Amino acid sequence: MEQPRKWRYGVNRWLILLFVILGVLAARAYPPILPHIQLPAEAISGEPLFSLPVIGDFYFTNTLLATLIADVLLLLLAFGVYRATRSGSLVPKGLPGAVEALLEAIHNLTASTAGKWARTIFPFFATITLLVLVVNWMELIPGVDSIGLLEPSEHGYPVKEIFPGVATIVKGAEGEAHEGELYALRPYLRVASTDLNFTVSLALISVFMTQVFGARALGGTYFTKFFNTRTLFKKPMFGAIDFLVGILEAILEAVKVLSFSFRLFGNIFAGSILLFVVGSLVPIFAQSAVLLFEFFVGMIQAIVFGMLTLIFMSLATVGHAEAEAH
Amino acid sequence: MEGDIVEAATILGKLLGAGMAAIGVLGGGIGVGLSALGAVQAMGRNPDVTGTIQTNMILGFAFAEATSIYALVVALLILFVF
């Protein structure tokens, strides 16, 4: 058992050195350049998927493709773990064991925060956390944001063919007149969190389901949080203040959508720009540190998105009057 | 000639606006520093709960950071959208 382990470590060491040298050579041969950064997701299908009369055309964008890939990964993981639990052994090994430990930690957190509503809230919390986690970590995979179609663009750079049919963008010398057409890259895959559509829709789901759980837990009295007329006629002065506070609460619910979506979007979009800039300025070594940092940020943002959903949902299931009582 | 001046003024305004929007990052930095201060002091007093404190500290970082991320989003919007 000891012997092959030693041998494998020795090979890994030389493999890492080989990749470092290859990376340096590749960066010397084709210096990375700063891509044209744009906020809306790029369409990768020529024609729109479908059109709606007022809203407009819907394209198949690269962030949508990234979301679908993340969904498929999660589904495969789920089916794998399901089959492992069905196989009969009570003690899961390997990946199913890791997933079980992760889900147990998430479930304990839900149970300690949400109390008796844990079973209802847990699916939303776990789904949002896992989806955002997988989507954020796609940023770290080489090829995301850098493999795609070349299209003529005024912001572009000259291209050079390395294999037949495969071309790469090359950096022209400074001040040199570009000959021929200039191309920009339209990547096949882009991190879904850098698209506001993804983050806003997740935030809408989270905030809407918060209202649904609140209404289910407290019935009609949940909405007196927003239209507080309980004390309006008994004590006119304080009742009016309570009513205004209720309206403020309603505005706060709408602001939650903004804060949820911009927090995730801003962190990940700024992170990917940081990766572009550092990669184009210092193509060797320096990006490793930024990649580690982005690994951390992606995990933290996923946990924060899920935790906030959990906390808001469990707060909504606890009544206003009960909270005042103690 | 006039078009050039307008274009230059647009670029100048964009860059100045993005720079000024990034001033908002200040508050987030102060907030993150304060939460780290509190966490380290608490760990010094009671090293047994370091794990719990670290988890909550990182959550606090994320929330304090959020407002500066909004400033960053505004700066990015100014630079890459308008």
* Residue B30: domain span: 2-80
Of B63, B70, B81, the CB nearest to A266: B70
Distance between CA atoms of A312 and A256, rounded to whole angstroms?
10
Each domain of chain A, given as residue ranges in start order, spans 28-51+61-147+190-317, 148-187
What is the average pLDDT value for chain A, to the nearest integer?
Answer: 80
User: Closest approach of chain A CAs to the CA of B3, in angstroms?
Assistant: 19
Question: pLDDT exceeding 70 applies to what percent of chain A?
Answer: 85
Chain A residues in contact with B80 (beta carbon < 8 A) = 37-39
Chain B residues in contact with A196 (beta carbon < 8 A) = none
Of A263, A273, A307, the CB nearest to B69: A263
Chain A residues in contact with B61 (beta carbon < 8 A) = 300
Question: CB under 8 Å to A200, separation ≥6 — which residues?
Answer: A257, A261
Of A270, A303, A304, the CB nearest to B76: A270
Tokens standing for residue A16: 């890492």
- Grouping H, G, I as helix, E, B as strand and the rest as coil, residue A132 is helix
Q: Is A91 on the interface with B (CB under 8 A)?
A: no
In contact, A7 and A248? CB cutoff 8 Å: no
Chain A residues in contact with B62 (beta carbon < 8 A) = 263, 300-301, 303-304
Q: Which of residues 116-175 of A touch B (CB under 8 A)?
A: none
Read off the DSSP letter of residue A43: B
- The residue of chain B with its CA nearest to that of A268 is B69
Domain of B62: which CATH number? 1.20.20.10
The structure's pTM equals 0.81
Q: How confident is the model at residue A1 (pLDDT cuts 50, 70, 90)?
A: very low
A-B CB pairs within 8 A amount to 39
pLDDT score of A8 more than 70: no
Of B61, B62, B70, the CB nearest to A262: B70
Identify the residue with better confidence: A182 or A175: A182
Q: Specify the pLDDT at position A279.
A: 82
The yes/no answer to whether this complex scores an ipTM above 0.85 is: no
Q: Interior CA angle at A133 toward A148 and B81, to 5°? A: 50
Distance between CA atoms of B17 and B23, rounded to whole angstroms?
10
Q: Is A278 on the interface with B (CB under 8 A)?
A: no
In contact, A277 and A111? CB cutoff 8 Å: no
Q: What is the pLDDT of residues A104-157, one digit of tens each?
A: 888 888 888 888 888 888 999 999 999 999 999 988 888 788 787 777 776 667
Q: Specify the pLDDT at position B65.
A: 82
In contact, A308 and A260? CB cutoff 8 Å: yes
Q: Pick from A109, A155, A258, A262 the residue to mutate for testing the B interface (most B CBs within 10 Å).
A: A262
Identify the residue with better confidence: A283 or B47: B47
